[in-house]
Amino acid sequence: MLSISHTLTGAFLATTLQHPVLYVPAVFASHYFQDWFPHWDVGTGLSSGKRKRHHAIIMEFVELGISFVLLLFIFQLGYPGIHWAAWIGAFLGLVPDFLEAPRNFLKWEPAFLKPINEFHGYFHHSTPKILVGLTPQVILWVVIWWLS
């Protein structure tokens, strides 16, 4: 899924569950669960060659910027001090994709990451249909914004 979906979900779970013993496994589980749904993201088309790697990297940085702004508005503004749970949850929500980034963007995969990335790949279902792949994610963002 898009980083926006994973960061908002991670922040939401962490701020709702509050304790790391609860939210760390929940955030990781949410990543694999969300990736299981057919979705569109900036990596869609990379393996088939329909999207160029440098294009995906630029889109990813734009998307991380959007994620940061949304996290700021939904979880940080109005909170006294740094809302650590939100930022930690958001970061954890991206860890499986960070671990896969060297393989996807640099064509380099350290051996110790291979089983983790294969586990990730087992859950990952993407669709080239943007509308089908984005609609559930936009609904997710609105629900999280509304609940937060």
- What are the residues binding Zn ion (CB under 5 A)? 35, 96-97
The answer to whether residues 4 and 43 touch, using CB atoms and an 8 Å cutoff, is no
The least CB distance from residue 94 to Zn ion, in Å, is 8
Alpha-carbon distance 148 to 79, whole Å? 12
Burial class of residue 43, CB neighbours in 10 A (0-12, 13-18, 19+): buried
Q: Which is nearer to Zn ion, 60 or 97 (CB)?
A: 97
The least CB distance from residue 12 to Zn ion, in Å, is 17
The least CB distance from residue 35 to Zn ion, in Å, is 4
Q: Which is nearer to Zn ion, 35 or 60 (CB)?
A: 35
Alpha-carbon distance 79 to 117, whole Å? 36
Torsion from C-alpha of 94, 99, 103, 109, nearest 10 degrees: 180
The least CB distance from residue 82 to Zn ion, in Å, is 26
Q: Which is nearer to Zn ion, 51 or 76 (CB)?
A: 51
Torsion from C-alpha of 104, 137, 50, 31, nearest 10 degrees: 20
Q: Which is nearer to Zn ion, 96 or 133 (CB)?
A: 96
Q: Compute CA 83 distance to the chain's CA centroid, rounded to the nearest angstrom.
A: 19
